[in-house]
Structures are given as C-alpha cells and as structure tokens.
Copies of this chain bind each other. A is one copy, B any other.
Amino acid sequence: MPDALSGVAPRVERHFETVLAGFGANRVAQAMRYALRGGKRVRALLVIAGARLHGVAEARAIWPACAIEAMHAYSLVHDDLPSMDDDALRRGQPTLHVKWDEATAILAGDALQSLAFELAAHPQGADTAAARAELALSLARAAGGQGMVLGQALDIAAETAAAPLTLEDIEALQAGKTGALIEWAAMAGPRMAGAETGPLSAYASALGLAFQIQDDIIDLTGDAAAAGKAVGKDAAAGKATFVSLMGLDAARRRAVELVTEAEDALSCYGEAAEHLRALARFVISRQS
C-alpha cells in the first residue's frame, strides 16, 4: 500500500464506529459492525486519493469513502449467503450467516446498503447539495440492476449457461460486479469538487479490470491463510476466469498492461497523482 495512504484504513474504522454509535446493540447492528471490520479498503483509498487530487478535505471525503465501503460490505454479505456463493469464510473469519443466521445476514446487508446512501448524501460530506445529490444518484446506478447487481446476476447465470463464458462475457460481468464500485470510488473526488471525472473514470476502468484479474490469480495461486478466504473454488467449479481463458502468464501480463493504462490515464495530473499510480501498482502486487 502507498505510504501516503497508509493512515486511511484506521480512519475508516474510526468513522464507522462514530457513525454506527447510534445504531444500538441489537443483532442487526452488531452484524453490521462485524461486516464493516477490516478489509483492504481499496475503495476508500480511491475516494480519499481522488479527493486529495482535487483539493477536497479528507474530513469531507471520509463520508463517501465509508459509503463505498459500506456498499462493498453489503455486497460481500449477500454474495456469501447459502443461496448465492455459499461461503463460510471471509477475511479469515466466519461469514455473517454462519456467525448469526441467514435472516440477520440478509437484514444487515440491506441496512448496509441504506447506510451507503446515508453516507454518500450526508451534509458533512460533499459541501454542495449538487455534489451530494450526484453522489447518491451515481452510487445508485453503480450498485443496482445495471451495475453491481447485474454483474452478480450474470455470474450466477454463468453457472448454468449452456456455453462457457468468453473473455468478453467475463469482462462485462466484472465491469458490473467489481468495476462499477471502483469507478464510483475514483470519481467521487472530482464529483465532490464539481470537476471533470473523465481521467479518473478511465483510470478506474483499467484498474478495476486489473483488480479482478489479480483476484483470479490469487484464487489459483494463493493460499487460504494469506487470502483469508477459500481459494481454488473457481477452478474446482470449472468456472471460466481470466486465468482459465488466458493462461496464468498472459493474465499476469494483461494485469501489468492495465496498470500502465491506468497510470497513463492520470497524465493530465502530473506528479500530483503519484499516490494513485502507486495504488494501481499495489493492486496487482497484493496476495490477498
């Protein structure tokens, strides 16, 4: 992780503590806190880095940074459910429906999605109402039936599809499943500043794909202890991935190319975007 961004993760934890203080100690609130713990915080880092690039104070950027982490957390909780990916382990700990039960996991996920919008539209976040309304609107589109949920639906459909997925299919699937939230995160900074989002959108589009290719590589080559979740599941399930379609070496080369693309998209920012370039390199160096 780039040094300039190393303080972000603990600030995200503290912000969630503050925000959730009013949610009480009921079962769902406890499950929400559990779902929000830890993680790499790549999406929050993108928000903070993009905001810094556009002169937006971190005290404001922490709100959309936590918004996108809440959205990501909800998606993991629901993806892990028995009727979805049926995973028992996440970040090295029992998944929500294992630790509590399915009803609690569904409700906590639902409440985390609501929380994401509460944080994105929060008056202490973006300082203009126009930016707050735009953050909420774009987050809804990124998360919904034409964004992340569509990606997840395509993923589930692939399991019973007659023909195996092509590389194009997988790119479309991942653009929704992983790409949409990563792009929203990178674009939040310029959106807060009322600035052009084009360069950070191009950056995030390449980065999101590199991120997913690296995930596929970790699934094949990683070990469960380092990854904090089950690995080798895709291969065991005969699921088409970037690695199974391209081969391991070509997938690694493609991820490196994409990171170069992502770095190049930042040329208009010059040296000021160095922490975003470092973040892109971090994404393909990580082993979990």
Contact = CB atoms under 8 A, between A and B. Distances in A.
Interface of A: 22-24, 26-29, 32, 74, 78, 81, 83-84, 101-104, 106-111, 113-118, 120-123, 128-130, 132-134, 136-137, 139-141, 143-147, 149-150, 152-154, 156-157
Contacts of A132: 129, 133, 136-137
Nearest to A137: B121
A84 to B, nearest CB: 5
B103 A122 contact: no
A24 to B, nearest CB: 8
Nearest to A85: B103
Contact of A136 (B29, B117, B141, B147): B117
Contacts of A123: 133, 137
15 contacts: A28-B145, A78-B106, A81-B102, A83-B102, A103-B156, A106-B106, A107-B152, A110-B149, A113-B114, A114-B144, A114-B149, A115-B145, A117-B136, A121-B137, A132-B133
Contacts of A26: 150, 153-154, 157
Contact of A115 (B22, B122, B140, B154): B140
SS class, residues of chain A in contact with chain B: helix
Stoichiometry (number of copies): 2
B149 A121 contact: no
A224 to B, nearest CB: 24
Contacts of A24: 150
Contact of A22 (B134, B146, B156): B146
Nearest to A111: B145
A248 to B, nearest CB: 30
A96 to B, nearest CB: 12
A130 to B, nearest CB: 4
A153 B117 contact: no
Contacts of A122: 137
Contacts of A102: 81, 83
A141 B24 CA distance: 14
Contacts of A115: 140, 144-145
Contacts of A84: 103, 106
Contacts of A139: 117
A150 B78 CA distance: 18
A121 B117 CA distance: 10
Nearest to A109: B110
B106 A118 contact: no
Contacts of A114: 113, 140-141, 143-145, 147, 149
Given A120-B136, A132-B136, 17 more contacts: A22-B146, A26-B153, A28-B153, A74-B110, A78-B110, A103-B156, A106-B106, A111-B150, A114-B143, A116-B140, A117-B117, A117-B136, A121-B121, A129-B132, A129-B133, A129-B134, A132-B133
